[in-house]
Structure 1
Amino acid sequence: MRERDIPYKAVSLPSSMLREWLVMLQGLSNVHVQLSRRGTNLLRSVRDFAPSYFDDVYVHSRAMDGKTDVEVHKVHVRKILTLMREQKFFVNLKECKFAANKIPLLGCIVGKNGVRPDPEKIQEISDWSVSVDVKGLRKFLGLAAYLHKYSRNYAKMTVHLSRRLKKNERWSSSADCQHSFEGIKKILI
């Protein structure tokens, strides 16, 4: 929170004391936008190795100039923490992962070997039973669509199931739909 805005966020307590908040309150409607904007502006100079997503900062480092990737990573983390301290950003150490080989990010696992689907999502797909209603089918196709970038021929596999979502389509369990359902599970697993 900007120092000049602190008096505007003050509240009066029952004991007649005035409480001034030094950090953003969660109940404010634009807190996420302001946090994201401030974080983006703060990290603009280090965006090459530290992208951010809302209140998360992901620091990735590679070996360079004769230094190992760990040595470079330490320099990067130090630089980020210094920037944050200067701007009065706080870090919750319980939520931090330092020198991790892979991290979960938006339903995927990001690591040295690239991006791959989260094993929990894959397990969820493999455990899914045949959907007997439109709502269940929408859930299945939604999760499958999220993971389909890791598979081939996804569009062909979903044709029969997607037809079932049309407004006046009769709901029946056909062999084509069952084959599509099992095929989608197979290519995603």
Structure 2
Amino acid sequence: MARPLFNLLKRDPEWRWNAEHQDAFEAIKESLLHAPILVLPDPDRPFSVVCDASDLAIGCALRQADAEGRERVIAFGSRQIKAAEKNYAVHDKELLAMKYALVQFRVHLLGSKPFVIYTDHASLCTATQSPHLSQRMARWLSFFAENNFEVKYKPGKQNALADALSRRPDYELAHGTMVTSSIPDRIRASYASDDMCAALLKDLGSKDF
């Protein structure tokens, strides 16, 4: 949802605010006003985590069942896939989403009761038992060992919460708008008309400075 806004923070692209960014901004504001409403964690109840990955982003959510057995969301997490991570195999991207979830929710999960991580990538259920691990996976699995959890498979259709955080299929540029302002020119003119600022600018431009 926030991907268009994060793209504005990149160093190279020219900063342009267009309809795509405005729509993302309005969608974020709207989502903060409606369900699902986040709840406070209960340390006496077990947690569950859902996570997912796509070619665009990774997403996760920390949940807990209430007294009536309804799954309630405690926290969300998502971020864009980095350039190097786009080259990861699907399996590694899904494992990356799991690692990201454990880092994001570490304050709740570390030392908690045994919890479940749900993924729509079935091979992750046996990832720790693989005899052939890459160096990356070995590092991640050593990090996972700090937590007491079980990985369970949940088909993508049933994992809509994390799936929605990790992918948006409708990214298309509607139109671009160039933002112009006379403020920088007015500031420069004001500097030139101010005696103290004009003297300072003259000194800064001197070869002897």
**More helix, by proportion:** 1
Which TM-score band (shorter chain)?
A: under 0.3
Q: In proportion to residue count, which structure has more strand?
A: 2
| TM-score, structure 1 normalization | 0.25
